[in-house]
Structure 1
Amino acid sequence: MRLTRSDPATVPAPPPGRYSHAVQVTSGPMLYVSGQIALGADGGIDAPGDMARQSEVVFSILERILAAHDASFADVVNVRTFVTDLGLLAEYAEVRGPFFGGGLPTSTTVEVPRLFHPDALLEVEVVAALPG
């Protein structure tokens, strides 16, 4: 197996369905994807003020970037998320969850005062172990 996900019994368990404490990559090239925001084709933010919709757009963009490299969310080993309001985290988590299924990456989520676009509520970057 190329990826081994683990939650050692020597540390508190992560919340169910949220993330893995560690993911070991045993072989293969890595893909580092820059942080993505919910930019629409017109260069504006899709759905200002709507965390669920912005999350859907961001994960759709990430999915297409991964696919362009013959990868999927099953290959993602780390997710780093920046949000402008942790109070909206449940909306983000509800959208994010189905993209990963059972193969949970390591994860960090941080609240920031703002992102580079004033209407962006979140920015998400990923690291994936490329198949093959």
Structure 2
Amino acid sequence: MPEHSWSCALQAVAGLGPAGRGATTSRMSMTKEISIVHHADRRTDVMMPYAPGIVVRRGKLVFLSGVTAAAVYHSHPHRDEEFDLPSTMREQAVLTMENLKKTLEAAGCTFTDLVSATRFLTNVAEQDDLNRVWASYLGGHLPTTTTVEVSRLATHARCKLEISAIAVVDDGGS
């Protein structure tokens, strides 16, 4: 794509008209609309810590990069002294959820806006510890989740958990 086309595309995405002037279109604010999907043969006698599916009919999607118990803003290349992390899944899960909460808040969201999360663990046997912390932050809210065991996380060898997520918020017209 020619440089001019990229510039025009970026201006369009940013809502800018020619010479950086604001676009003249106006939009009404629309409340998000989501619904949980269940199978026809859903079992109600078991506790499900996630929703099988969620349909987003209206709202603004917010994509969150993976967070761990480590500080979100850290040196690259990594410096070992910046990764003094607790050794238990419970403690790392709390720090990870706090980092996720900060990112959600920075995007104008809360945990109840989550519709999907992927949770990467270095030891799936510690999933119950994660689930207890997860439930304490989300209460009764159940986004879709996928939990995957990995041999190591890229952030640091001491990290036990990484969570990436998608949220939906009201479309405020911006």
Letter in 1 for 2:170: P
**Other structure's SS at 1:56 match:** helix
Letter in 1 for 2:88: D
Dislocated runs of 4+, deviation >4 Å: 11-15
**Other structure's SS at 2:119 match:** strand
Equivalence for 2:14 = none
How far has the Cα of 1:13 moved from its partner?
Answer: 6.5
Letter in 2 for 1:87: A
Q: TM-score, normalised by structure 2?
A: 0.69
Higher relative contact order (CA 8 A, sep 6+): 1
**Other structure's SS at 2:82 match:** coil
Q: Which structure: larger Rg?
A: 2
How far has the Cα of 1:102 moved from its partner?
Answer: 2.1
Aligned counterpart for 1:39 among listed residues 49, 65, 70: 70
How far has the Cα of 1:14 moved from its partner?
Answer: 9.9
Q: Percent same amino acid among aligned pairs?
A: 26
Letter in 2 for 1:120: C
Aligned counterpart for 2:162 among listed residues 81, 100, 123: 123
Change (3 A) 1:45 1:109: farther
Q: TM-score, normalised by structure 1?
A: 0.89
Aligned residues: CA RMSD:
2.0
Equivalence for 1:3 = 34
Structure 1 residues without counterparts, runs of 5 or longer: none
Distance in 1 (CA, whole Å) between partners of 2:45 and 2:150 is 23
Distance in 1 (CA, whole Å) between partners of 2:131 and 2:60 is 28
**Other structure's SS at 1:26 match:** strand
Matches within 5 A, 1:1-132: 2-10=33-41, 16-40=47-71, 43-47=82-86, 49-116=87-154, 117-132=156-171
The count of residues paired between Structure 1 and Structure 2 equals: 131
Change (3 A) 1:89 1:79: same
Distance in 1 (CA, whole Å) between partners of 2:129 and 2:112 is 22
Distance in 2 (CA, whole Å) between partners of 1:119 and 1:15 is 34
Distance in 2 (CA, whole Å) between partners of 1:121 and 1:78 is 20
Give CA-to-partner distance per residue, 1:69-100, whole Å, 9 cap, x none. Answer: 11111110001001000111111111001222
Distance in 2 (CA, whole Å) between partners of 1:127 and 1:14 is 28
